[in-house]
Amino acid sequence: DIAYQGQWSWVGNPANWDGLAYHSPVTNYAMTLPMFLSNDPTVARLFMAILSALTVVVSMRLMQRYTDSSTALIAGLFIAVLPQLVEWGRFVWNPSFAPLFIMLWIFTLLLGYYEGKRHYQVWHGLWLSLCFQSQAVLLMLVPVSMLAILIWHWHHRRWRDFAITCMSVLVVIVSC
């Protein structure tokens, strides 16, 4: 509707479980990008394939940062031939965005809370939000993020920042 008629949607596609009536419209908004170029479904599939390839690149950068180049190459090859990622790269649906968002969530988790780079902690919250907006079952990532936040704040003794972070995560969860 956005690409063709200019109608903005506040809810996404209907969900099939009782805890959530609708998916987030973020994936609908993201899918308008290829639709602005062409109505051909091949363009949308190409867009999803590019996101899958970007997932491989992000995973290789992640592995290269924390291990070495040969391990990054092996991990990239394994992820590139992962049957689910190849299959999901051919279809346009909400879970197709999840692998890229999960890799970026892991990357920012490590940069923000393992290496202590504060601006990546903000990006980590964004990628966490996008993870469970693409697939609701990814709410299971929230406890991992909260544990990383707790450990980081426990180590640095910044309890005021911890309270602000918890409130921010709570606002993100409630708003979605």
pLDDT digits (tens, 9 = 90+) for 105-116: 999 999 998 988
- For the ranges 1-10, 76-85, 88-97, 115-124, which has the lowest average pLDDT? 1-10
pLDDT of 63 reads 94
Q: What is the CA radius of gyration of the chain?
A: 18
Find the mean pLDDT for residues 41-68: 91
Find the mean pLDDT for residues 1-23: 63
Nearest to 30 by CA among 3, 55, 62, 58: 3
- Measured CA to CA, the distance from residue 100 to residue 37 in angstroms comes to 22
Nearest to 115 by CA among 65, 58, 52: 65
- For the ranges 25-34, 77-86, 103-112, 159-168, which has the lowest average pLDDT? 159-168
- Measured CA to CA, the distance from residue 25 to residue 82 in angstroms comes to 27
Cα torsion through 126, 107, 141, 9, rounded to 10: 30
Question: Residue 41, Cα to own-chain centre: how many angstroms?
Answer: 23
Higher pLDDT, 33 or 171: 33
pTM to 2 decimal places: 0.80
pLDDT of 152 reads 82
Higher pLDDT, 127 or 159: 127
pLDDT of 142 reads 87
Higher pLDDT, 176 or 122: 122
- Measured CA to CA, the distance from residue 96 to residue 3 in angstroms comes to 20
Strand, helix or coil at 109?
Answer: helix
pLDDT of 39 reads 84
